[in-house]
A and B are shown apart, each in its own frame.
Chain A
Amino acid sequence: MLPDDAAAAVPRAASASFADYLGTHHPGLLPSNRTLGPGTASTDASHLAPHATTIVSLTFPGGVLMAGDRRATMGNVIASRHIEKVFAADRYSVLGIAGSAGIGLDLTRLFQVELEHYEKIEATLMSLDGKANRLAAMVRQNLPMAMQGLAVVPLFAGFDTDRHVGRLFSFDVTGGRYEEQEHHSVGSGSVFARGSLKKLWSPRLDEASAVRVAVEALYDAADDDSATGGPDAVRALWPVVYVVDGAGTRRIPDRDLETVAHTIIDARSSAGREA
């Protein structure tokens, strides 16, 4: 006869999730278990911490690309000029964060460990849809903080190793997961970036021109949104750009981005437009 708990171990093993394990055994370590204390639901904490701004992502044949500017703001103050908001999640996926920066960075770290943990326990990579679903669940867990003004909205992109295409996903604070086509952007400058992408994106971009399109979209966002930082030639700060294709995740080196940024700045200077 099988003892009761021996059979119960089978359904328990269904989840190889690091976040679930933390929730059971070390609940204090989960970002979603941190609360603002006995504030009312109407407490607005959004002015307390820096906000990360614009992320753009676009697909091209054989892969997908994600880029983020380098600015974080607190109200009218620039909190950071160096912040990085786009990260490799694992070998075949990247994510970018917009919204409350500290919570976004915590979420990123947890998500990276979640994917690596699954890979080590199961000896195989999680499917791209599985990764997007896990990220959606983590965003959903942050809903109480989002109600108090500390929302974080990631953008997730990856290479689907079964279908051999790049795919991208956006999320809302309630854990909604939406697969986006062609291109997408999130954050305060996303409206302007999306307008720019609509004109610049084409289905036949190669990797180099996709990088140029992404940097130009961020330039347009920075042009009209005070919370988005443009390329900073004085401090030599360029956007963070990651490419994911069949070979894996790769960060575009700064010297390439410097060339791209200078090309865009020169083209716009010589065009001499005012608006």
Chain B
Amino acid sequence: MTQQFYVSPEQLMKDRADFARKGIGRGRSVVVMSCRDGIALVAENPSPSLHKLGEIYDRIAFAAVGKYNEFESLRQAGVRYADVRGYSYAREDVTARGLASVYAQSLGAVFTAESKPFEVELVVAEVGHSQDADHLYRLTFDGSIADEPGFVVMGGAADSVVDALRNSWSADLSLPEAVRAAAQSLRREGAGTAVPADAEHHVPPALDPSLIEVAFLERDPDTLRGSRRAFRRIGGPELENLLQHGQDT
């Protein structure tokens, strides 16, 4: 008969948190920004088909870093939650707050009860009809939840991206400006820690559209495109144009 060693709950939780943080820290970063015309979601992602950003419902999007299989199953569960709720009540009864709190419960339960916590960090973003009504819910592996104002950065080198964005972010940015600001700050991070302290004078290489994934939650999709679905993926020539325009000006 084997003897179970006593492990204090503090130690157990700390070990699990360290494990999850390590997994998340290896991933590339994702930026979610609220701005004048909606919410911009920008992820560093070399794959054109394995998305880190996804549509949940009419005005709700999902962004994640960490293990693909884990956040993909959470994304699909979120789509099912939203569609069932919208189908059985009404479309406007699906809110990011409801979804985020369900996610928080699920992440929290797995963190304490399962043998391994989720190695993911999520943002559930909802675009409002005015900028004050935008919500960015950030969820971490242990189920803690925060409604962040302005912008959220998740992933490996989040701190350096946050530093870079703090200078360039403002609430009046248009969506293309927000994408350029986010892409710039992700590039700083991409250049790595080897960049010397005079990073301000360092000229970074041209932005490569094939390495980033971009999506918008447009504030008023009905007048823009005659659709109630605010989520729109930006890719191919449109993304190239958008980033190119930033280089010229």
Contact surface of A with B, Cβ cutoff 8 Å: 18, 21-22, 25-26, 29, 109-110, 113, 116-117, 120-121, 123
B54's contact among A22, A29, A123, by CB below 8 Å, is which?
A123
- With A and B bound together, what is the CA distance between A123 and B88 in angstroms? 23
Whether A121 and B76, one on each chain, are in contact in the complex, defined by CB atoms closer than 8 angstroms, is: yes
Supposing A120-B55, A123-B51, A123-B54 touch, asked if A18 and B88 sit within 8 A by C-beta, the answer is no
Q: How far is the CA of A170 from the CA of B49 in the complex (A)?
A: 35
CA–CA, A29 and B84, complex, Å: 9
For the complex formed, measure the closest distance between the CB of B222 and the CB atoms of chain A, giving whole angstroms.
Answer: 13
Q: Which residue of B lies closest to A119 (CB)?
A: B55
Q: B80 to chain A: which residues have CB within 8 Å? A: 18, 21, 117
By the criterion CB–CB under 8 Å, are B79 and A120 in contact? yes
By secondary structure, the A interface counts as helix
A249's nearest neighbour on chain B, judged by CB, is: B226
Q: Could you give, for residues 54-69 of chain B, a 1 whenever the CB lies within 8 Å of some chain A CB and a 0 otherwise?
A: 1110000000000000
CB distance from B200 to the nearest CB of A (A): 39
Among B55, B56, B83, chain A packs the most CB atoms within 10 A around the CB of B83
A residues near B56, Cβ cutoff 8 Å = 120
Query: Could you tell me the distance between the alpha carbons of A26 and B88 in the complex, rounded to whole angstroms?
Result: 10
Q: How far is the CA of A120 from the CA of B88 in the complex (A)?
A: 18
Q: A113: which B residues are within 8 A, CB to CB?
A: 83, 86-87
The residue in chain A whose Cβ has the minimal distance to the Cβ of B57 is A120
Q: Is the CB of B51 within 8 A of A117?
A: no
Chain B: minimal CB distance from A6 (Å): 12
Alpha-carbon gap, A120 to B57, bound state (A): 9
Contact with A along B109-130 (1 / 0, CB 8 A): 0000000000000000000000
The chain B residues found within 8 Å of chain A, CB to CB, are 49, 51, 54-56, 76, 79-80, 83-84, 86-88
| Given A25-B84, A29-B84: 5 more A-B contacts, CB < 8 Å | A18-B87, A22-B84, A110-B87, A113-B83, A123-B54
C-alpha gap A123/B48 in the complex (Å) = 11
For B87, what are the chain A residues with a Cβ–Cβ distance below 8 Å?
A: 18, 22, 29, 109-110, 113
A-side contacts of B76, CB under 8 Å = 121
Task: Write 30 A-B pairs (CB below 8 A) sorted by A numbering.
Answer: A18-B80, A18-B83, A21-B84, A22-B84, A22-B87, A25-B84, A26-B84, A26-B88, A29-B84, A29-B87, A29-B88, A109-B87, A110-B87, A113-B83, A113-B86, A113-B87, A116-B83, A117-B79, A117-B80, A117-B83, A120-B54, A120-B55, A120-B56, A120-B79, A120-B83, A121-B76, A121-B79, A123-B49, A123-B51, A123-B54
Residue of A nearest to B225 (CB): A248
Residues of B within 8 A of A18 (CB): 80, 83, 87
Q: In the docked arrangement, what's the CA distance between A113 and B86, Å? A: 9
User: Residue on A with the closest CB to B78?
Assistant: A120
Contacts of A22 in B (CB 8 A): 84, 87
Rank and list the top 3 A-B pairs by shortest CB-CB distance, nearest first: A120-B79, A117-B83, A113-B87
Q: Separation in Å of the A20 CB from the closest CB of chain B?
A: 11
CB distance from A3 to the nearest CB of B (A): 13
A-chain residues with CB within 8 Å of residue B84 when the two chains form the complex: 21-22, 25-26, 29
Residues on B with C-beta less than 8 A from A26 are: 84, 88
CB-CB under 8 A from B83, the residues of chain A are: 18, 113, 116-117, 120
Please, how many angstroms separate the alpha-carbon atoms of A22 and B56 in the complex?
17
| Inter-chain contacts of A117 with B (CB < 8 A) | 79-80, 83
Identity of the chain B residue whose Cβ is nearest the Cβ of A29 in the assembled complex: B88
Q: How far is the CA of A219 from the CA of B18 in the complex (A)?
A: 72
Per the bound structure, the CA–CA distance linking A117 and B55 in Å amounts to 10
Q: How far is the CB of A60 from chain B (nearest CB, A)?
A: 22
Which A residues lie within 8 Å of B79 (CB)? 117, 120-121
Contacts of A29 on B, CB cut-off 8 Å? 84, 87-88
Q: Whole-angstrom distance between the alpha carbons of A25 and B79 in the complex?
A: 14
